[in-house]
Structure 1
Amino acid sequence: MRFLPRLLLFALLAFTSACQSACSYVRYFIPLNPTSKNGQPVDHTAWNGLLKKYVDSRGMVNYAGFKADSAALNGYLTVLRDNLPTDKWNDQQRLAYWINAYNAFTIQRVIRAYPIKSIKDLGGDKTLVNTVWDQRFIQLGDEKFTLNDLEQRIMRKQFEEPRIHFALVCAAMSCPKLRNEAYTAERLTAQLDEQGRDFMNDPTKNQLTPPASPKVSAIFSFYPKDFEKNKGSIQQTINRYATQKVNPDAALSYMEYDWALNVQK
């Protein structure tokens, strides 16, 4: 009998841990639409200047430079915090806001711990539960959000736009390259198409020969349904942007994802 209270305590702790994990996972199936009443469309000039300064043409990042210039980055993130989208913004303004927010907050999270070898070192290994992408560090309005909130609950739920996967950068070598300019509402379509062409034709991301059995980025295996909407296919998405076309019924295999930090050397 003397062991019963201890067993009950262990059982309660295990149950609580399981509930917390389940709740963390389930929340990403619930759409999210944080807005403000008076938020002004954001001028992304400050973020654009930082990207020009610390990201090269290959998308490699000078994290030490960003860290030394963190006051400027934090100033831009404060603008995002104080100007959540409103229902008066158009889709291009909202999507540009969320893509830039995702990439800028990713940089902030990395430089807080820099130097590191991989962004995955900053969290646990349970997807949608305790990874770095599940940490609530993003202050927007009066609430804190996670990177997965921005991607899974906002962008993927609100916008039927698979090209976001060519623009959202997770600070890893196998991610699409970080564009060294900010996304803007006025140029968003052209910028996303350019990201698609750059990503698909990069042999370190996609190996498109032989066309009957190409080896493509694991991103396509992470989000297959996003690329198959409107009766499309992954192969059609590839051929929309690739110089080297693949067969419409190509048997796809996926490259191992390289999580090493996308740092300038």
Structure 2
Amino acid sequence: MKIRNTFYALATVLIMVSCGTSAPTSKSAPIEHTIWDKLLKEHVNGNGLVDYKGFKKDQAQLKQYLNLISSNAPGSKWSKEEKLAYWINAYNAYTVQLILDHYPLKSIKDIGSSIKIPFVNTPWDVKFIEIGGKKMDLNNIEHGIIRKDFNEPRIHFAVVCAAMSCPPLRNEAYTADKLDKQLDDQGRAFLNNPRLNEVTKDKASVSKIMDWYGGDFKKKMPIKDWINKYAKTNLQTNNISYKDYNWALNEQK
């Protein structure tokens, strides 16, 4: 167990180093996320599953929002909450766009087999994003900016990589004024989803996310404490195991 945890910790550090990028900046004022908010309300259900066919029909609006993101990188005068809300929304919106670019498909990982770019093997390494004049990929946003710059483990309840084992995609945009509450809501929705996590007073079988990113979580408190912070059932032991990850597309059926 100790060897495995050390391996994951080392792998996490290597990912952050390899994805390291300085966050692009601009002199723009904080942007409104109303277009993205409207799209989420229309095409994401209460379980956090996505109507990609519906999103496809509204792709022009999605691209309008991504153009807004692309041309308005966070400025130095933005608050921490404004910046973090921006980057979470950007990650989730660009992930939806990536799925739509290859739709229909059964899993985001299927995109990897179709990539014909030298040294690019996964969809998270495709530099299809441009923000503030910088070419970026999803790994740059998640590992090189969000995880590196914000020290906020709750982002793992909010960034969604389009898989069934991901946290539910929130059907509203993240905003600075509500961000703390939204992240706590996501923690509760995630830990109390029986498809993703099972918690009794005697044991817990939880998402692999809490194993992969255990180092992030443990900077704040032990995994058991995270479980008890959000789960309705109080775990009274240290009997914690991790579920296999389901990479099937997080699509409404």
Task: Work out whether the TM-score is over 0.5.
Answer: yes
> What corresponds to 1:237 in structure 2?
226
> What corresponds to 1:57 in structure 2?
46
- Identify the structure with bigger relative contact order (alpha carbons < 8 Å, sequence gap 6+): 2
CA apart distance, 1:26: 5.8
> What corresponds to 2:27 in structure 1?
38
Aligned residue pairs: how many? 236
The structure with the larger Rg is 1
Deviations, residues 86-135 of structure 1 (Å, cap 9, x unaligned): 110010000000000000000000001101000010115xxx96211111
CA apart distance, 1:27: 7.3
Q: Distance in 2 between matches of 1:140 and 1:28?
A: 19
> What corresponds to 2:4 in structure 1?
none
> What corresponds to 1:4 in structure 2?
none
1:115 aligns with 2:115: no
Match of 2:148 among 139, 145, 157: 157
Q: Distance in 2 between matches of 1:158 and 1:37?
A: 17
The answer to whether the Cα contact below 8 Å between 2:163 and 2:248 also exists between their aligned partners in 1 is yes
> What corresponds to 2:252 in structure 1?
264
The answer to whether the Cα contact below 8 Å between 2:16 and 2:148 also exists between their aligned partners in 1 is no
CA apart distance, 1:38: 1.5
The answer to whether the Cα contact below 8 Å between 1:35 and 1:87 also exists between their aligned partners in 2 is no
TM-score, normalised to structure 2, is 0.89
1:29 aligns with 2:20: no
The SS at the match of 1:123 is helix
Give, as a single letter, the amino acid of the residue that structure 2 aligns with 1:244.
T
What percent of counterpart residues are identical? Answer: 49
Give, as a single letter, the amino acid of the residue that structure 1 aligns with 2:34.
T
Structure 1, gaps ≥5 residues long? 1-24
> What corresponds to 1:175 in structure 2?
166
Match of 1:194 among 163, 179, 185: 185
Q: Distance in 2 between matches of 1:221 and 1:236?
A: 14
TM-score, normalised to structure 1, is 0.85
> What corresponds to 1:21 in structure 2?
none
Moved over 6 A (4+): none
Give, as a single letter, the amino acid of the residue that structure 1 aligns with 2:240.
L
> What corresponds to 2:138 in structure 1?
147
Structure 2, gaps ≥5 residues long? 1-12, 114-118
Match of 1:254 among 230, 233, 242: 242
Q: Distance in 2 between matches of 1:52 and 1:236?
A: 32
Label 1:201 to 1:27 Cα distance change in 2 as closer, same or farther (>3 A).
closer
CA apart distance, 1:37: 3.2
Structural mapping, 1:36-115, within 5 Å: 36-115=25-104
